[in-house]
Structure 1
Amino acid sequence: MLSRPNGILVEPENPCGTGVLVVAGSSGRVDEGRARLLARHGATAMSIQWFGCEGQPDGPYDVPLETFTAALDELATRCDRLAMIGTSFGAEATLLTSACDQRVTAAVAFAPSPVVWAGVRPDGSVTSHWTRAGEPLPYLPFVEPSQPVGDPPAFRCTYAESLAAAAPETVAAATIPVEAIAGAVVLIAGGDDQVWPADAWVDTIARRRTDAGRETTVVTAARAGHRTVLPGEDVVRAGAAIARGGTPDADSDLGRRAWPHLVRALQLRL
């Protein structure tokens, strides 16, 4: 059984058979609220802290993807099927893990990226967000100088410019192989996302899957930001002081639009 600060496992009163691993974004936090919401609808829900604990990187860099595979292993002993839900950096992990673990029958990505991004170590050196078998995954670096705009800072242009400036071979190497995900994929993004242009990127991801003959669900709302609020969730106010876009009402509207698709993909109980 997991416990804080490493994670939480919430078992439902009326199981639907789905085990869901919930992966937070750049905070790396335990997303207890979302795990409990899913458990209320029948899922066995786990959320883990994926950096900052003993034996883990201090930040979102050089994080072993095996961290998430091990969590899925635990869920697999309890459930009939496996799914992942990730947000932002956590959506990177969700798509990457789901692409190489055929046990995952559904992947839900909030504010996702089509590529792996650079992570910055405490000494300022640049590496990948993720490793596999001890080796950093190919990643997209930031353009130099890459300065966010506004107060609080918005990084949307930084990410968009970095992707546009990257060499085609660099982009190809860093691209997440979403076409390898055999299960259902649901992509959710706000049109006012000020962290990065996830509203454009969900179309990039969906096209890649369509070209491979894979079905994908895309849910967007023009005025929503980086953080989607699902029905029954509280607005999350923690995290770095950066611009995320959206409004509480718009973010909740996107959550209401997305919820039926999550219920179907995860086979939840209403």
Structure 2
Amino acid sequence: MLRSIWHLGALAALLVLTHPATAVAQPAPTEAAPAPAELTVADVGFAARYWEPATGPRKAPVLVLPGSNGGYPSARVGRSLAAAGHPVVGLAYFSAAPAIPGLPTRLREIPLEYVDRAIGWLAAKSGRPVVLMGESRGAELALLLGSRRPKLAGVIAFAPTTAVWRAPPAEANEKPAAAWTEKGKGVAWLSDDDAPGLTSNQRFDRALARGKGAARIPVERIKAPLLLIAGGDDRIWSSTPAARSIQAKVPNATVLHYPDAGHLLMGPGAGVSRFEAPGFVVEFGGTDATNLAAREDAWAKTLAFLEKVSAR
């Protein structure tokens, strides 16, 4: 239920990743990649984990953006990309538990310039333009930056959206605020419909049906190659219609659609279809089997997409 996700998003995602009753057992990693270096706000102006390929030619660098769980992105994603030859920055832009020094504890008024620092650092270190990769709210951020930053090598959006959404409120009566800012001003946003009894998808779909206005992400401005991955059983927001809508506006966009998969499809290996705790349920969609099959296929095609981007 979306109200719970908006109000307790960081906690819910943290529990999904750690609760033994709901987290799917993960296979032991086989990627030959070194442990990441920790990059801190105090040292480089952003908080991240950096994976550098151990051997072989360097391919297109990848900046990975997590969703509303906060904190650092999946280590499996970083290890797999680095093993394939990509320098990787797994960026944290807020973190509630555990707190990361120098970062806000909520997804609220995050400066796009903060992400720019990470893009610039990775581009300078690798000597190549950067690919942005994000999931859910991270996909929203990747598409938003892709439409505003022309010097990118590619954009990859898992569970994309066509609009910018508000900051998740901490409580029901909190004044709405922007999730992202640029030059000190909030980026225009939509508020999901908060009428009682609606599913997560209905909350977003009703808001979109009223019109996006200035909150629409101008995806037609994205000049870099674009890969969109969506599950037909996404129970958070309707990512498949969003992916098709974006593809219609961006000639160089590719859509990977998995009819029986859910919301969480970024990375190799098993994912999560449902989280349940006393008084709290989040349905991400799909089943353990359909999500695993979709994730494995999507990840292989993501690596192939990155291979083509690297050869440009």
Calculate the TM-score normalised by the size of structure 2: 0.75
**Distance change in 2, residues 1:243/1:148 (3 Å):** farther
Paired with 1:49 and 1:146, the residues of 2 have a C-alpha distance of 32
Paired with 2:181 and 2:271, the residues of 1 have a C-alpha distance of 31
2:117 alignment counterpart:
70
Residue 229 (structure 1) shift: 5.2
Residue 241 (structure 1) shift: 4.7
Residue 259 (structure 1) shift: 3.1
Q: Deviations over 1:93-134 (max 9, x none)?
A: 101112222221110000011000111444611112211111
Which 5+ residue runs of structure 2 have no aligned equivalent?
A: 1-36, 42-46
Identity of aligned residues (%): 27
Letter in 1 for 2:288: P
**Distance change in 2, residues 1:226/1:16 (3 Å):** same
Q: Which of 37, 40, 44 is equivalent to 2:87? A: 44
Which 5+ residue runs of structure 1 have no aligned equivalent?
A: 150-154
Paired residue secondary structure (1:253): helix
The answer to whether residue 298 in structure 2 is matched with residue 258 in structure 1 is yes
Paired with 1:56 and 1:125, the residues of 2 have a C-alpha distance of 21
1:229–1:254 Cα contact (<8 Å) kept? no
Paired residue secondary structure (2:38): coil
1:106 alignment counterpart:
154
2:52–2:87 Cα contact (<8 Å) kept? yes
Q: Which of 234, 243, 247 is equivalent to 2:283? A: 243
2:264–2:273 Cα contact (<8 Å) kept? no
Q: Which of 109, 115, 118 is equivalent to 2:163? A: 115
Paired with 2:225 and 2:282, the residues of 1 have a C-alpha distance of 32
Q: Which of 196, 202, 205 is equivalent to 1:157? A: 202
**Distance change in 2, residues 1:55/1:29 (3 Å):** closer
Residue 27 (structure 1) shift: 0.6
Of residues 190-199 and 134-143 in structure 1, the stretch that sits farther from structure 2 once superposed is 134-143
2:104 alignment counterpart:
57
Residue 36 (structure 1) shift: 1.2
Residue 266 (structure 1) shift: 1.6
Residue 147 (structure 1) shift: 4.5
Residue 135 (structure 1) shift: 0.6
**Distance change in 2, residues 1:229/1:25 (3 Å):** closer
Paired residue secondary structure (2:61): strand
Name the count of aligned residue pairs: 255
Paired residue secondary structure (1:218): strand
Paired residue secondary structure (2:229): strand
2:183 alignment counterpart:
133
Paired residue secondary structure (1:39): helix
1:217 alignment counterpart:
254
Paired with 1:15 and 1:25, the residues of 2 have a C-alpha distance of 30
Calculate the TM-score normalised by the size of structure 1: 0.86
**What is the root-mean-square deviation of aligned Cα atoms in Å?**
2.4
**Distance change in 2, residues 1:158/1:34 (3 Å):** same
**Distance change in 2, residues 1:24/1:241 (3 Å):** farther
**Distance change in 2, residues 1:44/1:241 (3 Å):** farther
Q: Which of 239, 250, 255 is equivalent to 1:198? A: 239
Paired residue secondary structure (1:18): coil
Paired with 1:125 and 1:20, the residues of 2 have a C-alpha distance of 35
Letter in 1 for 2:123: A
Residue 234 (structure 1) shift: 4.4
Residue 245 (structure 1) shift: 0.5
1:61–1:129 Cα contact (<8 Å) kept? yes
Paired with 1:74 and 1:200, the residues of 2 have a C-alpha distance of 34
List aligned pairs for 1:22-41, cutoff 5 A.
22-31=64-73, 32-41=75-84
Q: Deviations over 1:10-31 (max 9, x none)?
A: 0002243311000111112211
Q: Deviations over 1:52-79 (max 9, x none)?
A: 3344332222111112111111101222
Paired with 1:57 and 1:112, the residues of 2 have a C-alpha distance of 24
Paired with 2:296 and 2:117, the residues of 1 have a C-alpha distance of 31
Q: Deviations over 1:203-229 (max 9, x none)?
A: 1111122xxxx2110001111000115
Paired with 2:288 and 2:205, the residues of 1 have a C-alpha distance of 25
